Structure 1
């Protein structure tokens, strides 16, 4: 694959969905000899979510399976292994941990103070990065400040504050005021690289690298409250086609696209969330860095995609990598360059991608290790950089707010244990009743329901569950129960819309065949746990997993009476869902009757404080259960190991642990006939 394009016109005539590989970039005068070779390691972090240290803020203990401080160890290893290297970040960097919320919402950083995650990243040194969708969660003024990027948008100042010491690029988000990008869409970086002549001599050569960045266009739905009327977005392919001529005119040796997005083979649209496959087909892009999907590429999840090499890491002929999430992995592309006919080209036979885990698989087990002995050591420099603010955040979340006699956990939230969701729904319903009485007195007699999902349901490993034990409650408890910094919204729907909402949520489950032999998996792993909404507030319903999608919700009642299609409800949820996040039917932002500026987590904390001793009677009852189903085979699911007693204590006596996986998880069987 050539690195210098000789035909700029190809950028304008290439079909949008064409699968052509990158064309050569326009040649420029060179004095370098033919036959030069250079290996360049393109390193990537993505979806760090401000997990700087290997620490679980909710369980108040070290967690060696995540954390940027351990990724840094891998970065140093790669830099020692490869003579030449470049390091980039693919976004979702500044949000996602207690420390992040502390600096954004509690003890806010000022203009002259660099955000902790950027301090840690600057300590190791980055060459560039892009902006993820979660960067917008705290609003544009905060994003403008902490990235050191003045923006011509409402609310954002013109003052240039301290941001990261590396360039951030973003090509597909523009100011609604003037149509100009709110970040630099692309930039050129220049590095001297070691190259080797055919006789083995080493020389230093200059390399011009253009980087261009993209975020999911769906930010306009997910952060509508923060972005509507302030910015506009374009599709990732359209943005790339717009700026590639500018980039080509500067004669880069290498063009790297940094996309906070994954890959989807559905027909391309300008609002596609994961447009990486199509972006790889834009002429001129030489390397693709991916993110957002919280998974690895190369990896088996992408095994059956057309023109995708899930073993060596190529997408439509373009070397690509996606380096996991939470600092669990480092993406590495070994880029083999050869200089011929006055241009650098990629030797595909010697180029490949890998994802390096901080916790390598245990020998013979094929599963991630669950002990520190199998995880790389943390880099000692990172804790020194962020130690003070880390301790301040820990002290803050340990602020007492009450007591509880109830254990609230999400270990079996998918199976009907709603103890971790009930306080969220109770707080949301209480808040909406208070606000709607003045904002919408016409809705005073309309039933108000609460909708919540288990944000921590095991996706990130055996410790990725909410578990608030009986005893003292702190702000940490509220953060554990409500993981994201969403604001509260309420929507007005009818009974048909309520059923459609629940049907969409029920896609969390695979269809179970009562007559099948062999084990059947209950959970559809392709449907995210945070989209399994469970609604409370006087309704009851059953989920029949033997039925096809869209036909699973049965016996839907409100206070014992059947819900009619025309019956009116107000459902309290978060701004993400109310604005269309998750693509739920009837939820697109047009039926919002309450858009609160208050965060759901803060609303929950205040509600817990108003119940100094929380008892079971303070919480709404579980609203759903599985329809009875007798099966020939066992229906199974995976959860944290040795938690059967938790299920039994919460009334789920039809669940039993079958076998321990040896990695902190276990396979459980659920008897659906009870």
Structure 2
């Protein structure tokens, strides 16, 4: 390094707040290095979708994992702050639920007044400035959430969660939380002088929590459209003196066109006058990035802007730290943004052999904050509850009848038949709908259920059923059963007869919306177009992917009534399946699906999870299709009932590629 540059960096370090000397010099962000006397660099850092992953540990696999953990993300906070002239730290929601540590606290230990939740204790170590709420914050109920947030050392904001009915004017809504905060911060400019800046933060949650968590929120809360809420509150933030307004949007990026109560509204939120920068999340993707959001008008995935404004989405489970860097300039007594950059900085990379390599170490203080609860969770998840006579895995859950989905369906059917045996629905035939939750995708090449033959512990049950949904049942017709399956078949691309190695899976279709319905038999004709779009709208009236649909060995009667057991998400309209909504619900259980699975295994003692092969693809002679799954699936490819699956080499990002012979 030339001596002039060395001298400049050392002097800058001194000017910018006495950053502690270390063996290596910190590379300043260009904004910090070039800020003039009336200019200042402000870096805002984001964590999002932590889902209780404090430790770099996979509780389901019961082993360390270098791709996740707030303790890892936290270890780079000090260095990232040191690169900046001035910095702030925010969390963008979904911190409270998502792994057995969260469930252990909610269901085993509980939260008494004055208790500190381990994820909050860990976050308090890092000195967050503000946070917002994600949809999963409501999974354990409002009382639990309030006890958790009481221990937070920083404020939470949410502008679109109301108590009861919506007011005629959003600014008259009675909110659970402050819609925004305006934080006054002393920032140092390029000359070393300090002066105040007022930074406003406003938060948003997906309106769909009223569907996804109706059991916890119905009659207690309501949600307003994200963009509508922002239009009401952002002008008031400016009137109160906010120099810049930052949106904390636990909502993803969807370029399909603005609509009422959008789940992923961040692109259109960024278009609101007065919002200067936007932090996004919820989708578990990375922005800016190489490909997740290419081709969306208004979203620049290279520059990291939405509607021309700086934006970032920082992955999930602590995989990235989101950074928005702002070069500010003094304009009279206020500040304005004159330039910006965005970055999602990862905590790991893959080497030339595609193996995960950690780029950072743990921050000991964060581990210490949750150590006792982490160890208690390990004991919690290791408790045996029964045995399995065959392995449980989900490597091929999207392409063939699957043991990990089969056992969920078996447990649900067993439970609902007991619940309804003496009631008015006792004589209706029972079907069971279940979907694979751990099926690779955004979770990565190791994100699959894999339970060997032998003991089943609680950790394995949580692995089989990832979310704390509750059991519900709906009463629907045979025709509606068929349409349910037609909607599920959106998981697959259309494959023309005779095609060679066609792409099989629709990457935009979530695996948790791919329901298999047990109790009927059917085939899926991939040569047909999809019948419904992602919103459940009929788009191809003549398309029928579901063929040979039978109940009790006979073609299903379109008018016959069936009880279908599922979860509260699907029964309440989650996934927008045609005609499946709250008005069809006949039974609301007090039990979670996971609790039901545990009870089923305990009663059975030893379970047989072998898939019954009730569905398959309609043969298309001379046709093959390819898909990706975890490399460990190679051990099971030859054992799949009703499907011929071949190894087709390596895929991307650690996945293996497989060929389905149709």
TM beyond 0.5: yes
Change (3 A) 1:400 1:596: same
Q: Residue 152 of structure 2 corresponds to which residue in structure 1?
A: 164
Provide the C-alpha distance between the structure 1 equivalents of 2:517 and 2:643, rounded to a whole number of angstroms.
22
Gaps of 5+ in 1: 1-32, 149-162
Report whether the alignment pairs 1:544 with 2:529.
Answer: no
Q: Residue 386 of structure 1 corresponds to which residue in structure 2?
A: 370
Does the 8 Å CA contact 1:450/1:573 hold for their aligned counterparts? yes
- How far off its partner does 1:647 sit? 2.5
- How far off its partner does 1:651 sit? 2.9
Higher mean C-alpha deviation, range 302-311 or range 463-472: 302-311
Q: Residue 390 of structure 2 corresponds to which residue in structure 1?
A: 406
Provide the C-alpha distance between the structure 2 equivalents of 1:374 and 1:331, rounded to a whole number of angstroms.
18
- How far off its partner does 1:342 sit? 4.0
- How far off its partner does 1:341 sit? 4.3
- How far off its partner does 1:301 sit? 2.2
Does the 8 Å CA contact 2:310/2:342 hold for their aligned counterparts? yes
Does the 8 Å CA contact 2:328/2:338 hold for their aligned counterparts? yes
Q: How does 1:274-673 map to 2 (within 5 A)?
A: 274-299=264-289, 300-348=291-339, 351-362=340-351, 369-371=354-356, 373-438=357-422, 441-459=423-441, 460-516=443-499, 519-537=501-519, 539-550=520-531, 551-616=544-609, 621-631=612-622, 634-651=624-641, 654-661=644-651, 663-672=653-662
Higher mean C-alpha deviation, range 68-77 or range 93-102: 68-77
Does the 8 Å CA contact 2:197/2:334 hold for their aligned counterparts? no
Q: Indicate the RMSD between aligned Cα atoms, in angstroms.
A: 1.8
Provide the C-alpha distance between the structure 2 equivalents of 1:242 and 1:361, rounded to a whole number of angstroms.
45
Provide the C-alpha distance between the structure 2 equivalents of 1:307 and 1:47, rounded to a whole number of angstroms.
24
- How far off its partner does 1:660 sit? 2.6
Q: Residue 157 of structure 1 corresponds to which residue in structure 2?
A: none
- How far off its partner does 1:516 sit? 4.1
Provide the C-alpha distance between the structure 2 equivalents of 1:267 and 1:650, rounded to a whole number of angstroms.
41
Q: Structure 1 residue aligned with 2:199, among 204, 209, 212?
A: 209
Q: How does 1:28-177 map to 2 (within 5 A)?
A: 36-148=38-150, 163-176=151-164
Per-residue deviation, residues 351-408 of structure 1 (Å, max 9, x unmatched): 1111111113536x8xxx533x443222222221111111101101111211111111
Q: Residue 153 of structure 1 corresponds to which residue in structure 2?
A: none
Q: Indicate the SS of the match to 1:360.
A: strand
- How far off its partner does 1:78 sit? 1.0
Per-residue deviation, residues 587-639 of structure 1 (Å, max 9, x unmatched): 121110001121110011001000112235xx66132111101245x411111
Q: Residue 155 of structure 1 corresponds to which residue in structure 2?
A: none
Provide the C-alpha distance between the structure 1 equivalents of 2:79 and 2:486, rounded to a whole number of angstroms.
48
Report whether the alignment pairs 1:184 with 2:185.
Answer: no
Q: Residue 27 of structure 1 corresponds to which residue in structure 2?
A: none
Per-residue deviation, residues 29-55 of structure 1 (Å, max 9, x unmatched): xxxx99611111111111111111111
Q: Indicate the SS of the match to 1:91.
A: coil
Provide the C-alpha distance between the structure 1 equivalents of 2:278 and 2:237, rounded to a whole number of angstroms.
16
Q: Indicate the SS of the match to 1:610.
A: helix
Report whether the alignment pairs 1:261 with 2:251.
Answer: yes
State the 4+ residue runs in structure 1 displaced beyond 6 angstroms.
none
- How far off its partner does 1:74 sit? 2.6
Provide the C-alpha distance between the structure 2 equivalents of 1:615 and 1:174, rounded to a whole number of angstroms.
47
Provide the C-alpha distance between the structure 2 equivalents of 1:306 and 1:590, rounded to a whole number of angstroms.
37
Change (3 A) 1:191 1:631: farther
Provide the C-alpha distance between the structure 2 equivalents of 1:267 and 1:666, rounded to a whole number of angstroms.
35
- How far off its partner does 1:515 sit? 4.0
Q: Indicate the SS of the match to 1:514.
A: coil
- How far off its partner does 1:665 sit? 1.8
Provide the C-alpha distance between the structure 1 equivalents of 2:331 and 2:178, rounded to a whole number of angstroms.
32
- How far off its partner does 1:66 sit? 1.1
- How far off its partner does 1:642 sit? 4.2
Per-residue deviation, residues 137-191 of structure 1 (Å, max 9, x unmatched): 111111122112xxxxxxxxxxxxxx21111000001111894100111111121
Provide the C-alpha distance between the structure 2 equivalents of 1:433 and 1:374, rounded to a whole number of angstroms.
48
Change (3 A) 1:375 1:646: farther
Provide the C-alpha distance between the structure 1 equivalents of 2:401 and 2:144, rounded to a whole number of angstroms.
37
Provide the C-alpha distance between the structure 2 equivalents of 1:572 and 1:448, rounded to a whole number of angstroms.
7
Provide the C-alpha distance between the structure 1 equivalents of 2:643 and 2:268, rounded to a whole number of angstroms.
48
Per-residue deviation, residues 269-290 of structure 1 (Å, max 9, x unmatched): 3311111111111111111110
Provide the C-alpha distance between the structure 1 equivalents of 2:98 and 2:197, rounded to a whole number of angstroms.
35
Q: Indicate the SS of the match to 2:387.
A: strand
Does the 8 Å CA contact 1:462/1:640 hold for their aligned counterparts? yes
Provide the C-alpha distance between the structure 1 equivalents of 2:264 and 2:592, rounded to a whole number of angstroms.
27
Does the 8 Å CA contact 2:400/2:643 hold for their aligned counterparts? no
- How far off its partner does 1:267 sit? 3.7
Provide the C-alpha distance between the structure 2 equivalents of 1:282 and 1:660, rounded to a whole number of angstroms.
44
Does the 8 Å CA contact 1:417/1:647 hold for their aligned counterparts? no
Provide the C-alpha distance between the structure 2 equivalents of 1:630 and 1:327, rounded to a whole number of angstroms.
46
- How far off its partner does 1:463 sit? 1.5
Provide the C-alpha distance between the structure 2 equivalents of 1:81 and 1:257, rounded to a whole number of angstroms.
23
Does the 8 Å CA contact 2:616/2:642 hold for their aligned counterparts? no
Per-residue deviation, residues 552-609 of structure 1 (Å, max 9, x unmatched): 1111001211012111111100001111111111112111000112111001100100
